[in-house]
């Protein structure tokens, strides 16, 4: 408790949005260690006994010497103040490395710089020849280059005059540096090169042998995006957008005429300008051959728009795309004040008329090029099973979520450690894959493992093993498996009851006599008698054998077998150059073990039991009676020090004398260190046997099942499959005379196809406290035809079955309201309400259809048969909709895939993109597939595109993919009197978050179509089923 008070005094809660003053330093430490420390210093004495605190080891947070990419705050690491770090380091020590992070200010925004730039610094000799002496230095982006120059010279030991050059990669020329600017202003990226040219006469010196030919324009098909710290989700999504047909053309010039600088729903044009500048940076990197762009300005802007993307946590790629496209659409939305539009029920009217009402209402509110590109239209029909009343809605959508087949079980891979049989020494550790219920517990896991290996479930113990080679925590049988991620690899130990293998215990000598000395004349000692229940337990002589104050008594054994579970760790000594009290340091190696023994046991039998668990590592060992290849020591949980002596003594662990007559008293959860003899380790220890992991056949079977092929057509069939739900019924209400809900049948079809289609394979699921990811391999085609799922005009989507029951008035059914009730009147809620604003002008309309076929939208606009436009002039009717949907063009070409590699709550995002046709050097359309893994881009074959990691699929309609469709065929041109907005003024303007919620278009819930396919919902046009 005293430690807690000291740390609380120094520490303060870290807030990523308000990290502190510029120059403040914070320190990172492992989140797991911090959680244990909080338990250890908590108010409950029981928690202190159940945890073991080890020195602070940041090895899990670093890759070599730099912070690992993909870490999550409060999941992988915790942030503490400098004072708290110094206190914890003084108490617990640890190998480090220390991970200080400083608060910086870039472009008026303060942030904790989690990932400083790593620059490669090289130098020349006095003649100007480049030396192969590049060294890496870590430096802040906010530093002025003159300060960086001094550090770089010190790194190479240069004291004389130098000329500094830089370049972003080996493919571009060296350039001189403006030393008055910061690295951020200079556009430095991770891996940037700095060259220090040694000169004796600076006026005559020339840079010799350091120039590279500039890459020719068009040399690169794609450019990588640098990971700025857990931004792989953003990079993968942006790569697909960068390769989206028509999008880059629009954001070259045209978008400036549509910028909404005073709208209350977007970001005042800032998001659109940031995306346009990112596109320009990518094109520039392609032209000069740089190959990598650091999207810092874009990330800062999207972080201002939605703070959840400003931190360092991993995010969902689909959620990022939905938020970003919604904000982008609002920034270029020609509708400044969204009108209130009331929609009527279908009432048996022709589908084309009702569909056009919905589409016109959507276009009047979301009149942007983004909405035109990414919007399609569903037809959703609800039919009451009681009265037969039917209502159809035609909701726009931008993401089509595709359900994947799933089971009520999951696979968990674990390693089982047991005592091997003679002749099968390499089977002491076996990897198995157990199938368990998704809502199961650790007990279910042990039952499954026991069934696979033919072991008694009661003898199995599951535990988490730390990377250092010690048992971190035992898993209780009642613990839910939902807490285990898909990547978790728990260990299961076969802890055989001591009574089962005690008769087999024998000393390593050939004779059957017990090892001497047990007594003066070899007679049985009192400890042996105590084990057999023939005498009382004698007093314990050694201090380390005495129970710690506040801990359970030695006779208190929670095990079902009346025994305690003891952990074993393998240790060896290593001499260190710098030390405080002891020149030797113990280090762990190998896999820990776990065994059951009586709470009171003689040292001889304890050594015999331990040897029984490790004999297969030294099968050729020949020992004299009482001579063991190791010494047992009483150690703490991580095996780094004695569990009883004060740290001031520098004790590595009190030895358990094998020849002592006094019994050893053990407690449940104690750890014994197996200190191996150095000569035995060198000559007899079988490293290959110790490191070998035998693979059980269940692992291959699980892989086969995981890779079982699911075709996208099967998933689409399940999407449009009829389903039943409870919803409000107007006709039943009329009959009953009060609000009535009844069972409805819902059917879904595609009504019209938009230019672009984004399919989301629904891999991530949460059910109560259980979260999991589906790893199904879905075979998706390069060419997708939705004609089979297109709703036909006048088609009866839901079969009209005869009514068999009266309207339900049961109170229980009235309470069970299902999402998606269909009231008699439906409305789209606008920001300000009222009539269309007077400043909305008529726009130029593309008269020619893409392939000579009139779309339903244009036909309705021509006929003027749209209820939401009635009463308005022909000019308003003409501008109400844009000509982007098609019911004739239903074929799509795949051009991008976002992949998620890993499990729920962790993992890594990559993207597969198809090269744009204009990116080919020869002028012919480019059909190369590229893998974009952050800043690394390489070519892949088309066969490698389909994987079990696919998450988002990007399709372009056939006319768009073939470049037949032009912008004017999709979205009308700006008005002749429109003027381009100055983007520099937009960047310098101030922006405040909208009270509507995060600056995005968030309105009241659309209760009218909650059960329908696509809602206009809270993210503007980005509706999801």
965-995 pLDDT tens trace: 888 888 888 888 888 988 888 888 877 765 5
For residue 46, the model assigns a pLDDT of 46
What percentage of the chain exceeds 90 in pLDDT? 28
Q: What is the pLDDT of residues 664-699, one digit of tens each?
A: 889 999 999 999 988 898 888 989 989 899 999 999
Per mean pLDDT, which range of 76-80, 200-204, 486-490 is the poorest? 200-204
Q: In this predicted model, what pLDDT tens digit does every residue of 123-134 receive, in sequence order?
A: 887 777 787 778
How much of the chain exceeds pLDDT 70, in percent?
76
| Residue 761 three-state SS | strand
Averaged pLDDT of the chain: 76
Q: How far is residue 604's CA from residue 632's CA, in Å, rounded to a whole number?
A: 11
Most confident of the following: 601-615, 785-799, 819-833: 601-615
- Examine the pLDDT at 212 and tell me if it is beyond 50: no
Report residue 819's pLDDT band, with 50, 70 and 90 as the boundaries: very low
Torsion of CA 911, 917, 923, 926, to 10 degrees: 50
The predicted-structure confidence for 376-414, as pLDDT tens digits, reads as follows 999 999 999 988 888 999 999 999 999 988 888 888 999
Confidence of residue 37 (pLDDT cuts 50, 70, 90): confident
Q: How many CB atoms lie within 10 A of CB 647?
A: 13
Q: Is this model's pTM higher than 0.85 or not?
A: no
Question: Which of 188-202, 417-431, 525-539 has the highest average model confidence (pLDDT)?
Answer: 417-431
**Res 284: pLDDT:** 87
77-81 and 25-30 strand pairing: antiparallel
Q: Looking at the predicted structure, is the pLDDT value of residue 780 above 90?
A: yes
Cβ neighbours of residue 191 closer than 8 Å, sequence gap 6 or more: 118, 119, 120, 168, 169, 292, 935
pLDDT at 861 over 50: no
| pLDDT at residue 452 in the model | 92
Average pLDDT over residues 735-746: 89
pLDDT at 888 > cutoff 50: yes
State the average pLDDT over residues 582-593: 83
Does residue 554 contact residue 567 with C-beta atoms inside 8 Å?
no
Angle between helices 856-863 and 351-365 (to 10 degrees): 90
CA distances from residue 729 to 142, 146, 382 in whole angstroms, order as listed: 62, 74, 10
Lowest mean pLDDT among 394-403, 482-491, 851-860: 851-860
- Determine the Cα–Cα distance for residues 785 and 713; give it in Å rounded to an integer: 10
User: Is the pLDDT confidence value at 544 over 60?
Assistant: no
**How many Å apart are CA 79 and CA 31, to the nearest integer?**
9
The burial of 144, by beta-carbon neighbours within 10 Å (0-12 exposed, 13-18 middle, 19 or more buried), is given as middle
Is 862's pLDDT higher than 50? Answer: no
Interatomic CA distance for residues 431 and 417, integer angstroms = 9
| Confidence (pLDDT) at 591 | 92
User: Can you tell me the distance from the alpha carbon of 310 to that of 179, in angstroms, rounded to the nearest whole number?
Assistant: 29
Q: Residue 797's pLDDT band (boundaries 50, 70, 90)? A: low
Average pLDDT, stretch 578-587?
A: 70
> Residue 777 class from Cβ within 10 Å (0-12 exposed, 13-18 middle, 19+ buried)?
middle
Tell me, what's the pLDDT at 870? 40
Q: What is the DSSP string of 214-236?
A: PPPTT--S--EE---SS-HHHHH
């Amino acid at each position: 408790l005293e430690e807690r008070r000291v740390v609380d005094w120094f520490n303060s809660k870290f807030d990523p949005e308000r990290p502190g003053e510029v120059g403040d330093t914070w320190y990172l430490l492992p989140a797991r260690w911090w959680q244990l420390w909080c338990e250890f210093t908590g108010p409950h004495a029981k928690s202190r006994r159940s945890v073991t605190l080890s020195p602070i080891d940041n090895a899990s947070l670093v890759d070599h010497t730099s912070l690992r990419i993909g870490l999550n705050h409060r999941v992988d690491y915790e942030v503490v103040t400098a004072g708290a770090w110094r206190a914890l380091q003084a108490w617990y020590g640890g190998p480090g490395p220390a991970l200080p992070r400083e608060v910086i200010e870039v472009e008026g925004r303060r942030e904790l710089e989690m990932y400083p730039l790593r620059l490669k610094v090289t130098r020349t000799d006095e003649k100007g020849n480049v030396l192969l002496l590049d060294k890496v230095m870590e430096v802040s982006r906010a530093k002025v280059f003159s300060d960086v120059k001094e550090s770089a010279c010190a790194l190479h030991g240069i004291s004389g005059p130098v000329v500094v050059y830089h370049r972003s990669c080996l493919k571009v020329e060296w350039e001189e540096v403006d030393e008055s600017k910061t690295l951020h202003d200079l556009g430095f990226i991770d891996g940037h090169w700095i060259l220090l040219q040694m000169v004796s006469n600076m006026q005559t010196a020339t840079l010799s042998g350091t120039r590279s030919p500039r890459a020719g324009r068009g040399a690169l098909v794609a450019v990588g995006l640098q990971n700025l710290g857990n931004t792989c989700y953003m990079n993968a999504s942006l790569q697909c957008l960068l390769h989206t047909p028509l999008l880059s053309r629009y954001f070259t010039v045209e978008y400036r005429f549509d910028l909404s600088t005073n709208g209350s729903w977007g970001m005042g044009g800032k998001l659109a300008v940031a995306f346009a500048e990112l596109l320009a940076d990518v094109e520039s990197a392609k032209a000069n051959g740089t190959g990598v762009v650091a999207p810092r300005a874009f990330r800062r802007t999207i972080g201002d728009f939605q703070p959840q993307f400003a931190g360092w946590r991993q995010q969902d790629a689909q959620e990022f795309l939905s938020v970003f496209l919604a904000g982008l659409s609002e920034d270029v939305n020609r509708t400044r004040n969204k009108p209130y539009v009331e929609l009527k029920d279908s009432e048996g009217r022709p589908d084309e008329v009702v569909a056009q009402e919905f589409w016109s209402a959507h276009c009047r509110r979301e009149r942007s090029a983004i909405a035109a590109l990414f919007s399609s239209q569903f037809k959703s029909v609800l039919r009451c099973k009681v009265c037969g009343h039917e209502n159809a809605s035609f909701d726009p959508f931008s993401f089509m979520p595709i359900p994947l087949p799933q089971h009520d079980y999951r696979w968990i891979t674990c390693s089982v450690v047991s005592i091997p049989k003679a002749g099968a020494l390499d089977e002491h550790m076996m990897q198995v894959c157990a199938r368990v219920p998704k809502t199961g517990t650790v007990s279910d896991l042990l039952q499954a493992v026991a069934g696979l290996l033919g072991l008694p479930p009661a003898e199995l113990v599951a535990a988490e093993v730390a990377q250092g080679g010690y048992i971190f925590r035992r898993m209780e049988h009642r613990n839910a498996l939902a807490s285990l991620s898909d990547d978790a690899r728990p260990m299961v130990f076969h802890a055989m009851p001591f009574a089962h293998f005690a008769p087999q215990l024998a000393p390593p000598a050939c004779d059957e006599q017990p090892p001497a000395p047990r007594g003066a004349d070899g007679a049985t000692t009192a400890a042996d008698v105590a084990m057999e229940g023939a005498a009382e337990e004698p007093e314990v002589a050694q201090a380390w054998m005495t129970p710690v104050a506040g801990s359970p008594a030695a006779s208190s054994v929670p095990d079902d077998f009346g025994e305690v579970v003891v952990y074993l760790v393998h240790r060896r000594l290593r001499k260190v150059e710098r030390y405080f009290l002891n020149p030797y340091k113990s280090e762990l190696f190998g896999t820990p073990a776990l065994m059951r023994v009586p709470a009171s046991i003689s040292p001889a039998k304890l050594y015999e039991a331990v040897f029984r668990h490790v004999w297969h590592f030294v099968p050729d060992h020949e020992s004299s009676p009482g001579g063991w290849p190791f010494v047992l020591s009483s150690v703490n949980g991580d095996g780094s020090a004695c569990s009883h002596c004060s740290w001031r003594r520098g004790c590595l662990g009190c030895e358990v004398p094998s020849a002592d007559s006094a019994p050893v008293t053990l407690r449940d959860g104690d750890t014994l260190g197996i200190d191996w003899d150095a000569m035995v380790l060198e000559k007899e220890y079988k490293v290959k046997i110790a490191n070998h992991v035998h693979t059980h056949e269940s692992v291959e079977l699980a892989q086969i099942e995981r890779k079982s092929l699911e075709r996208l057509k099967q998933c689409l069939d399940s999407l449009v499959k009829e389903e039943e739900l409870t919803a409000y019924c107007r006709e039943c209400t009329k009959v009953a005379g009060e609000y009535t809900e009844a069972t409805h049948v819902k059917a879904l079809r595609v009504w019209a196809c938009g230019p672009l289609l984004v399919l989301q394979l629904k891999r991530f699921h949460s059910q109560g406290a259980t979260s999991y990811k589906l790893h199904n391999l879905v075979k998706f085609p390069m060419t997708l035809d939705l004609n089979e799922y297109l709703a036909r005009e006048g088609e009866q989507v839901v079969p009209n079955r005869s009514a068999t029951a009266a309207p339900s008035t049961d109170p229980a059914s009235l309470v069970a309201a299902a999402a998606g009730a269909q009231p008699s009147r439906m409305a789209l809620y606008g920001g300000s309400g009222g009539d269309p604003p007077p400043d909305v002008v008529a726009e130029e309309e593309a008269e020619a259809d893409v392939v000579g076929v009139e779309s339903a939208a244009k036909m309705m606009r021509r006929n003027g048969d749209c209820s939401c436009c009635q009463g308005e002039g022909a000019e308003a009717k003409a501008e109400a909709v844009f000509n982007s949907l098609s019911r004739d063009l239903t074929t799509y070409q795949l051009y991008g895939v976002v992949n998620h590699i890993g499990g729920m709550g962790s993992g890594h995002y990559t993207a597969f993109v198809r090269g744009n046709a204009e990116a080919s050097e020869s002028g012919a359309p480019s059909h190369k597939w590229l893998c974009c893994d952050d800043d690394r881009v390489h070519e892949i074959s088309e066969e490698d595109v389909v994987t079990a990691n696919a998450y988002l699929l990007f399709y372009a309609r056939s006319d768009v993919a073939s470049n037949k469709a032009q912008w004017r065929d999709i979205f009308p041109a700006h008005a002749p009197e429109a003027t381009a907005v100055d983007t520099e003024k937009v960047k310098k303007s101030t922006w405040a978050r909208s009270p509507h919620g995060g600056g995005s278009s968030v309105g009241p819930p659309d209760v009218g179509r909650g059960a329908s396919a696509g809602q206009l919902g809270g993210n503007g046009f980005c509706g999801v089923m």
